[in-house]
Structure 1
Amino acid sequence: MPTEKVPLDRMRLDKWLWAARFFKTRSLATQAIDNGRVKLNGERVKPARDVKPGDRLDIHLGEIDWTLTVRALAMQRGPAPVAQALYQEDPASQARRQQQASDRKLATNPAATIKGRPTKRDRRQIHRFTDE
């Protein structure tokens, strides 16, 4: 019996996050949802909750906050361009992420504040300075 491809109208939230490449595994997506880092339409939900096109997701990954709208569903995890077509990020969220990225670039290197052995970069600077 051949399997027919039926267009999806809803799917599990953890599976969608995995297919959209926000998490490397479904279990990581499930953990994030359980820990409250993912909200569906402003509410804290369970991993098995259905997501459908038009739903709004708030995702908090480390220091990065995403606010996006689900545009499509996919049963398989595909390449990055396909995954990016599954959602549309809000302009305010995109501007906030770009600002956070520029702030991280301007921040001091944490390794520079640690006393102890010099890093490989530090050694190169020392050798250039002492002409060795």
Structure 2
Amino acid sequence: MDSVRIDKWLWAARFFKTRALAKKAIEGGKVEYDGARVKTSKTVETGALIKVPQGWDVWEVEVLAVSSQRRGAPEARELYRETPRSQARRERETESRRLANQAMTAPHGRPDKKQRRDIQRFQRQRPEE
């Protein structure tokens, strides 16, 4: 396969579940191709660097192969290679999110009557101007 549109390649590489989601991300300016925003019709070439958002993370991948067919995950991983800088950044951000979640404490259920009254009293108070 010589040329494939970027939305089709992102779908085939399993970054998005549907081509429509890939198209939406591209048109929203979330996907970068060699450091620049692209249009959906951009053809993918081997050796290009693509930045793709995935949930909380942003993957920076180098295109190793071009395919327009969606296959299994192990075969899809052969289409790209994540850059070492991207891997390190994702791991660092994942760790910081994990630590931030540990520091937060969840509320222990609904407030009782006294706590509700205290909340209402606090909300009625106006700061002095």
**Where on the TM-score scale, by shorter chain, does this alignment land: which range?**
0.7 to 0.9
The percent identity for this pair of structures is 45
**Uncovered stretches (5+) of structure 1, i.e. residues with no partner:** 1-7, 118-132
**What does residue 96 of structure 2 align with?**
103
Match for residue 60 of structure 2 among 63, 67, 72:
67
Secondary structure of residue in 2 paired with 1:36 = coil
Count of residues paired in the alignment: 110
* CA drift at 1:63: 2.0
* CA drift at 1:75: 2.1
* CA drift at 1:53: 0.7
Q: Name the amino acid aligned to 2:33.
A: L
- Is 1:30 the counterpart of 2:17? The answer is no
Q: Which consecutive aligned stretches of 4+ in structure 1 deviate over 4 angstroms post-superposition?
A: 109-112
Contact 1:16 1:74 in 2 (8 A): yes
* CA drift at 1:114: 4.4
**Uncovered stretches (5+) of structure 2, i.e. residues with no partner:** 111-129
Distance 1:111 1:89, change over 3 A: same
Distance 1:111 1:76, change over 3 A: farther
- Is 1:10 the counterpart of 2:19? The answer is no
For normalisation by structure 1, the TM-score amounts to: 0.75
* CA drift at 1:62: 3.3
The 10-residue stretch of structure 1 (57-66 or 41-50) with the greater mean CA deviation from structure 2: 57-66
**What does residue 130 of structure 1 align with?**
none
Q: Name the amino acid aligned to 1:40.
A: Y
Secondary structure of residue in 2 paired with 1:49 = coil
**What does residue 54 of structure 1 align with?**
47
Q: Name the amino acid aligned to 2:81.
A: Q
Q: Name the amino acid aligned to 1:14.
A: D
CA distance in 2, matches of 1:115, 1:31: 40
